[in-house]
Amino acid sequence: MVIVDFDGTLAPIVADPPAAAPLPHAGAVLARLVGRIGRVAVVSGRPVAFLRDALPVDGLALFGHYGVERLDGDAVTTVAEARPWAEAVRTAVAEAEVAAEPDAELAGLFVERKGSLAVALHWRRHPDLGPAAVRLGRRLAAAHQLRLDPGRQTLELRPPLDVDKGSPVAELATGAHAALVMGDDRGDLAAFAAAGRLVKEGRLGHLLRVAVRSSETPAELLHHADLAVDGAPGALDLLAELAGLLDG
């Protein structure tokens, strides 16, 4: 079983997040693995609709919003507890957009609506906005009881549910002979931890936690990884190598 993150893992990090695209051969490499290695899943903070457009691979399992959404056949399903939070997220988006208007304090901050259940604030194009963006994020999180998750020159606000990347990982990897779990950011720590727990409990045979390294990789992720690869190209090389072993 293979469980991979999207941004920074299959897709290089870009300054304009909606423009992020997987490396050209990512879909083909995943397609080689699907059906031959148990399940192959992408678990991401992105909405499932985005992932489906970016990676149209038959049989690929997709989990979006850190496991709050999933692709079920052709339909996107959302965990029921998340739905009542759409209004709070919508309000937080509106307030963030006001704060980021051209003549406002955070002019230049990029406010990204991520479906109806999350909003991200990005300051990659304006690193000087980081501290103020974090203050805004904290204020919005407190005002609307949303959860705040920091990332690479970004933060996200989403429903305060007990769902993180560890949730789909635990579901997918339970009972598996072996799992490869790969990611590049703080959110992937939950995936590493959930898979590690399964091994300790005897519910997963073998585990390889792979950190995708860049200048921004959290030290904690590298610390908890069994292996590190360099950037999305390194991640794809590893998956292609795995596919090659299966071919052989």
Query: Residues interacting with Mg ion, by CB under 5 A?
Result: 5, 7-8, 184-185
Closer by beta carbon to Mg ion, 99 or else 151:
151
Residue of this chain nearest to Mg ion (CB atom): 8
Shortest gap between Cβ of 231 and Mg ion (angstroms)?
Answer: 11
Closer by beta carbon to Mg ion, 99 or else 182:
182
Shortest gap between Cβ of 222 and Mg ion (angstroms)?
Answer: 14
Angle at Cα 44 formed by Cα 42 and Cα 46, nearest 5°?
A: 125
Closer by beta carbon to Mg ion, 99 or else 188:
188
Closer by beta carbon to Mg ion, 45 or else 196:
45
DSSP reduced 3-state for 37: coil
**148, 138 contact by CB (below 8 A):** yes
Detail the DSSP E strand segments found in 79-205: 110-114, 118-122, 147-151, 154-158, 178-183
Q: Which residues of 130-162 are buried (b: 16+ CB within 10 A; e: fewer)?
A: bebbeebbeebbeebebbbbebbbbbbbbbebe
Residue entry with tokens 């596919």: 243
Q: Tell me which residue of 64, 116, 114 sits closest to 86, measured CA to CA.
A: 116
Which residues are 7's β-sheet partners?
A: 11
Shortest gap between Cβ of 86 and Mg ion (angstroms)?
Answer: 24
Shortest gap between Cβ of 94 and Mg ion (angstroms)?
Answer: 27
Shortest gap between Cβ of 93 and Mg ion (angstroms)?
Answer: 22
Q: For 55, phi and psi rounded to 5 degrees?
A: -135, 75
Phi-psi region of 86 (alpha: psi -120 to 50; beta: other; left: phi over 0): alpha
Closer by beta carbon to Mg ion, 88 or else 221:
221
Paired tokens of 69 = 């959404």
**What is the Cα–Cα distance from 37 to 59, expressed in whole angstroms?**
12
Closer by beta carbon to Mg ion, 5 or else 164:
5
Shortest gap between Cβ of 151 and Mg ion (angstroms)?
Answer: 8
Closer by beta carbon to Mg ion, 57 or else 191:
191
Shortest gap between Cβ of 150 and Mg ion (angstroms)?
Answer: 13
